[in-house]
Amino acid sequence: MDSHFILRRISSLAGIVPIGLFLVYHLYMQLYLHSGAEIYNNEVNSFYDSPLATWALIIVVYIPLLLHSIMGVILVFDNKIQPSYTYFSHLLYWLQRLSGIGVLLFIIAHIWNAKLGPWIEGTWGTHFEHLSSGFTDPETGMITKTVYVLGVIGAVFHFSNGLNTFCMTWGIALTPTSQKRVRIFSYLVFIFLIVSTFYALSAIW
């Protein structure tokens, strides 16, 4: 057992618990967009303003995310591109890496846009207004929307396909049949989260 193995295993675990769970919760919160500005802001603020929120976020989200990202970036460069093997799971393999890089960039932009930006500007707390104004801005609205759409698809894909590879890595799904079941489950998770999130975003589209 060496650090190579342990870091990869921790990174793999971190992708599901807690990052994946946080992603699900985060996407769930967006459903409050349909409840209007006040309730949405209350919900979000009650999460972020709770006494332990900052520490919890650092330990549960930021550190695992940082580890997962660093490991991911290392992984992306240690392989060989072999386009002649046109198998579906090989495609997923590359999409996982591509989405990983894309989502990393998106998260950086997202943290800047939705968190650090408002803090610096002093508009922290008016999440709903911030988000909807970003979406409806006549000049940059389209760009913001596109980035969000791609970011959300990427993140949801990366998570649900990650469920699939997680089950193989940890030896949860052994046989081809169970691996197939897990794969179908991951498709369902993907569809469910995508539908839910786009429904949420439709409130401010």
Partner 1 sequence: MLDTLTFKIKRQNNAESSPYWENFVIQYIPNSNVISCLMDIQTNPVNSKGEKVAPVVWQSNCLEEVCGSCTMVINGKVHQACSALIDKLEKPIILEPMSKFPVIRDLIVDRSRMFDALKKVQAWVSADGYHDLGPGDSQSQSVQEVAYKLSECMTCGCCVEACPQYTKDNNFLGAAAINQARLFNIHQKGNDITEQRLDTLMQEGGISDCGNAQNCVEVCPKSIPLTESIAEIGRQVSGKLWRNIFKA
Applying CB under 8 A, the residues found at the interface with partner 1 are: 1-2, 4-5, 8-9, 75, 78-82, 84-85, 87, 89-90, 93, 164-165, 167-176, 179
Backbone angles phi, psi at 78, to 5 degrees: -100, 70
In angstroms, give the least distance from the CB of 78 to partner 1: 6
CB nearer to partner 1: pick between 83 and 122? 83
Radius of gyration of the chain measured on its C-alpha atoms:
18
In angstroms, give the least distance from the CB of 184 to partner 1: 16
83 upstream amide cis, omega within 30 of 0? no
> Cα separation of 193 and 23, whole Å?
10
Q: Dihedral through CA 45, CA 46, CA 50, CA 53, nearest 10?
A: -60
CB nearer to partner 1: pick between 22 and 93? 93
Angle between helices 37-48 and 127-136 (to 10 degrees): 120
CB nearer to partner 1: pick between 164 and 197? 164
CB nearer to partner 1: pick between 30 and 161? 161
CB nearer to partner 1: pick between 24 and 76? 76
In angstroms, give the least distance from the CB of 151 to partner 1: 23
Is the backbone of residue 63 left (phi > 0), alpha (psi -120 to 50) or beta?
A: alpha
In angstroms, give the least distance from the CB of 37 to partner 1: 43
What amino acid occupies position 98? L
In angstroms, give the least distance from the CB of 175 to partner 1: 6
Tokens of 186: 């991951």
